[in-house]
Chain A
Amino acid sequence: MAQEKQILFERDELVRTVNRMAHEIIEQTASPSELVLIGIRSRGVHLARRLARKVEEVTKTAPPVGVIDVTPYRDDRAREQDRRAVGAFEIPVDVDEKTVVLIDDVIFRGRTIRAAMEAVARLGQAKRILVAALVDRGARELPIRADIVGKNIDAGAGRRVNVMLEESDGVDQITVSDW
């Protein structure tokens, strides 16, 4: 049988991919001053900060980075009452008239992004919302797309894709493993 854990990305490749994603973000934004990055808790936040640094390096404009925890909005986690909870944003940002990039490590069923879009609407009226994910697992349950993707991984529903980042896991690595 297949080995238990398979390494897909080592550090260099991951760093290169994040840099490429930063360039794609710049490409898809009319002006760097209208760009806002929002990291989804928790690894999305680390990615957002890395992307922001790279964007700043290239454009000399540091985009604001917001932090969102969508747990209260996730339809599959919370009861209705809790979903209304204020403050899904740990670090809110001004989104009016901005191009907002929602950033997560893995996009899979699409539910997290849908919840994040709902939360963004509470901050204001974004001109555009894009989604950037380091890994796109496909198998969406909602009609949501990722605009900027690091790598497409069709791992199959029974397997787990692990994104590990130095900031939280001490190592930059993407692996696929059995549950």
Chain B
Amino acid sequence: MPRRNLLSIADLTNDEIEEIFELADTAEKLRADKPAGGRIMATLFYEPSTRTRLSFESAMHRLGGSVISCSDMKSSSTAKGETVADTAKVVSSYADVLVVRHYWDGAVRAMAEHAGVPVINAGDGGHEHPSQTLCDLYTLKKEKGRLKGLTVVICGDLKHGRTIHSLVFALARFGASVVTLAANGMELPQYVLERLEREYDYSLAPVATGDLNAVVTETDALYLTPKQPHQLALFTQLDPGLQTRLNTMVSGLRYDAFYMTRKQKERMKEGTTGSSYPTIGSEFLREQRFKNTVVMHPLPRVDELSPEVDQDRRGIYFKQAAYGVPVRMALLKFLFAQNEAKKASAKKAATWFESPETLGPQCANPNCITVTEPASARRKFDFLPGGPGGALILRCLYCDHRIKVQLVGHVKSKRYCAYDIALSDTIKNWFTNKELVIFDSIKAAEEIGYEPYKSGPQRNIMDQTAIENAVRDIARQILGDCEDPDRLLVLGIRSKGSYLAQRIAAELAAAQKRKIEIGEIEIYGAGDEIRRPSPADPEAGPLNLKDREIVLVDDVIYTGRTVKNALDIIFRSARPKSVRLAVLIDRGHREVPVKPNYVGKHIPSSERERVRVKLREAEHDEKDKVVIYSIISPVEQQAGGLG
């Protein structure tokens, strides 16, 4: 029986949200009935919080329950390296509900998967904060009597906070119109707009904000409206004539609420005092057309709201904060009742992509739980074909970060190819049959034995002697640059880079008449451990990277993304004195600013070509050589040739 959690505002249907609001209206009765008598709520806050934590704890006490908490997660067993998964398992035996805030995106979802009791997300990294969204909606409903058809202006930093994104989606679900007034450079991200259009059938119209001059300067507003009978929905393109008409319409609009967000003043140092940050002050209050417009703010505020607004009946942000307790009482009561009645979520479980190979593509968000602590969360993604330009998009189930798929493979035939829109039907079939594999890079594909779908004739570009000479030459250059051979550490990227690292280290050892320490980094292979460099010899003690002169070794450098990943992994574990990069082949086409220090051979190649290094240490390679061949896309081989 699936347990009911609140991890995202999307976990609740509109009816359920209304049900929670009705419960919140009866907070006084709940307080008398004490429905949570005998129950314990555990609050685990890995990041500081005042309002959220206190209002949750107050809500639980008022429901007659009790609260246990760890005041400083840093001093708990987390400091000893306990995973969030283990913490969740342990603490769920002490409590009936967990309320968690964590600095990693998706960490709370990972904990919910391992907990035996319901889990409420009180903020996970920069991801979601659903109970805040509930409070915002409840405040609007209380003040305006409804949500449908309201026009809400959201102002300020709309890019940073995903809580703002949750609010926008929630407003969309209830059929409210949204006007965004972003501070310069802090507009709603593209994906939020795309999702509003695609999933909520919203239409977007940019509006010049000249008529809101008292409120904002410079920036344009964006008017988001449900695709219902509404004039503005007709316009998507802007020409000057239309713009004037839109302005007239917008200035004729009734605004129900302004939702301000905080100006992140602590981060705005000299030079960027945020001159274009929208503020609400006396001009706003004097404007006739705002006479029934309430002003909300999640607090704490900086100076985007002038104190005059506090005195005005329209400034309802302190009320909004006070609603935090009844809404959270209602939420707790709702979750207890749902779990008691063993009601499954009314939402149907989504089908997600999980690689049939041991390790799927990596979420591109370095703060995602699947990256920071893979032992707690296995990589899973929403499968979204039909992205912009026919792209195939994966959305991380934990942090909602999206990645665009470049390389796909077929698990049975062990073949890979570049994703192409012409393949989309084939790919959908593979996905349905659980035969689809997705790779971060060609290296990732070949690392687990995948071959390109079809390739042209091979051409040899290096033979054994050439490879041996190149390795010797690289070793000589390394010694020339090395400041202290005792600090040298040769680190190979698995698996071809590791073999080359061994060879280079052997040359270095022979020249220096001393042992050279060798390690390896696994970027794409199997295994759930946190990625960190390990000794090449499993018998050897753990690697110490601090203050070392690291020589990172790989066989081929292409886009540079593999090396960038390797650098991230190195720097996550320690701070080396230096990292130099040695590669056998540099084939150009860099996508990140990575540059090798030592190159065996430069090979100009086209993006349709593949350079492959074969080394006799590898299982399938008989002898040393480097070959180049072109990859023939399955699309070119006529439709239907795949699968």
Which residues of A pack against B, CB within 8 Å? 41-42, 45-46, 64-67, 69, 75-76, 81, 84-87, 89-94, 96-97, 102, 113-114, 117-118, 121-122, 124-125, 127-131, 141-147, 167-168
Contacts and interface: CB of A to CB of B under 8 A. Distances in A.
Chain A CB within 10 Å — which of B103, B271, B388 has the most? B271
A163 B365 CA distance: 33
Given A67-B272, A143-B563, A118 B366 contact: yes
B318 to A, nearest CB: 26
B581 interface: yes
A94 B591 contact: no
B104 interface: yes
Contacts of B365: 121-122
A118 B570 CA distance: 12
23 contacts: A42-B271, A46-B271, A76-B575, A81-B74, A84-B103, A84-B367, A86-B103, A87-B264, A90-B268, A91-B272, A96-B190, A96-B191, A96-B402, A102-B593, A118-B571, A122-B367, A124-B189, A128-B592, A143-B563, A143-B581, A145-B593, A145-B594, A147-B593
Contacts of B267: 69, 87, 90
Interface of B: 74, 103-104, 125-126, 159-160, 184-186, 189-191, 264, 267-272, 364-367, 372, 388, 401-404, 552, 563-564, 567-568, 571, 575, 577-581, 591-597
Given A118-B571, A141-B579, 14 more contacts: A41-B269, A67-B185, A69-B267, A75-B571, A86-B367, A87-B160, A87-B264, A118-B568, A121-B364, A124-B364, A125-B404, A129-B593, A143-B567, A143-B597
A168 B270 CA distance: 8
Nearest to B559: A128
Contacts of A129: 591-593
Chain B CB within 10 Å — which of A41, A91, A113, A131 has the most? A91
A108 to B, nearest CB: 13
A149 to B, nearest CB: 12
A46 B568 CA distance: 28
Contact of A66 (B185, B264, B366, B388): B185
Contacts of B403: 125
Given A86-B125, A92-B160, A128-B591, A143 B568 contact: no
A99 to B, nearest CB: 9
Nearest to B565: A121
Contacts of A130: 593
A33 B595 CA distance: 27
Nearest to B189: A94
Contacts of A86: 103, 125-126, 367
Contacts of B372: 84
Chain A CB within 10 Å — which of B185, B191, B404, B563 has the most? B185
Contacts of A90: 264, 267-268, 272
A145 B595 contact: yes
Contacts of B191: 96
A137 B388 CA distance: 41
B401 A124 contact: yes
A89 B579 CA distance: 26
